[in-house]
Structure 1
Amino acid sequence: MAKFFIVFLASALCFTTLLHFAAADADDLDRFHIKGSVYCDTCRVQFMTRLSKVLEGAKVKLECKARENQTVTLTKEAVTDKDGKYEMVVMGDHEEEVCEIILVESPDAECGEVNNQEFLRNAARISLTANDGIVSNEVRTINPLGFMRKTPLADCPQVFKELGIVPDVIF
């Protein structure tokens, strides 16, 4: 009798767990937390160096467009905190759209240039669907995006030397 009770209890537990997953709100799979950061590219090399600084108060925009006709289907803005980080929550599945985080505005007058060359655009594509093979369908972490300083800092050549690179920048 005790074995029957234990098997019954274990079966009931498994069944209720299965029901819980089956009854989960579908919106749970369509809620995305986007996290990223914005910095000032003080050496104009399009990656962070020890001289880069984070930007508080920078504006970024999420923009999703339909693949077929490029119609904007979603826009949302965020502002960076004191650590240069931003977060936003997006609802809904956007599998059939191209979504990007785009730099909008820099709070620093000296560091406000955006590289508009198509292959070097200051934007990051983001997948906003649970049907993409990404293990976590909740958090999407974006690579840091940088506004360029109008002129590189005087210490940049030393940083390049430390990194062992020869930049395509004239000082």
Structure 2
Amino acid sequence: MAKFLIVFIASALCFTTIVNFVAGDADDLDRFNVKGSVYCDTCRVQFITRLSKFLEGAKVKLECKGRENQTVTLTKEAVTDKAGNYEMVVTGDHEEEVCEIVLVESPDAECNEVNKEEFLRNAAKISLTANDGIVSNEIRTVNPLGFMRKTPLAECPQAFKELDIVPDVIF
């Protein structure tokens, strides 16, 4: 009888642990930690170089819109820290929406231009659903977004030479 009681209590304990684990996991499926960074494109090439600098105090906005009618369903803003990184917590499953992070405001007067013709490059689409095959249901890392200087730095040609590239930029 004592053996049966021990097995019964151990089984009940295992069962409640599994139920709590599953319930806790289910809650996490609709909570996302969105992380990214904002930099100053000092050479106007739309990618990070050794001369790029990450911006403290830059503002970004997350916006989700319905796929069918483009109605805005979620808007959230964040500001970058000293390292140029931002982070925001988003709850809810947004599988049926198109979500993206866009640049809003630069703290640097010399680096505040967004290439209007290539605006889509300055927005990063992001998946905010657990039903997308991404292994980590909690963290979503966004590609770096960059504001551009009005004129490239004088050191840019040397940086490109080091990379052995010829950019489509006039100095």
Deviates more, 1:136-145 or 1:112-121: 112-121
Matches within 5 A, 1:13-162: 13-24=13-24, 26-118=26-118, 120-162=120-162
Matched residue count: 171
Deviation at 1:22, TM superposition (A): 3.8
Distance across 1 between alignment mates of 2:107 and 2:36: 17
- Uncovered stretches (5+) of structure 2, i.e. residues with no partner: none
112-121 vs 65-74, which moves further: 112-121
| 117 and 12 in structure 1: CA distance in 2 versus 1, 3 angstrom threshold | same
Q: CA deviation at 1:19?
A: 1.4
Contact 1:27 1:92 in 2 (8 A): no
| CA displacement 1:13-60 (0-9 Å, x = unmatched) | 432232113433743211111111100000011111110001111000
- Pairwise CA distance, 1:118: 4.6
Give a deviation string over 1:96-149, Cα, whole Å, max 9, x none.
000000000101111011122257530100000011111111111111100011
Cα offset for 1:6? 7.0
* Helix, strand or coil at the partner of 1:36: strand
Letter of the structure 2 residue corresponding to residue 85 of structure 1: N
Give the TM-score of the pair, scaled to structure 2.
0.91
Could you say if the C-alpha distance between residues 118 and 72 of structure 1 is closer, same or farther in structure 2, counting changes exceeding 3 Å? farther
Q: SS at 1:165's partner residue?
A: coil
Query: What stretches of structure 1 of length at least 5 have no aligned partner?
Result: none
The amino acid that maps onto 1:145 is L
CA RMSD of aligned residues (A): 2.0
- Deviation (angstroms), 1:2: 8.6
Question: CA separation of 1:120/1:33 partners in 2, compared to 1, >3 Å: closer, same or farther?
Answer: same
Q: Could you state the TM-score of these two structures normalised by the residue count of structure 1?
A: 0.91
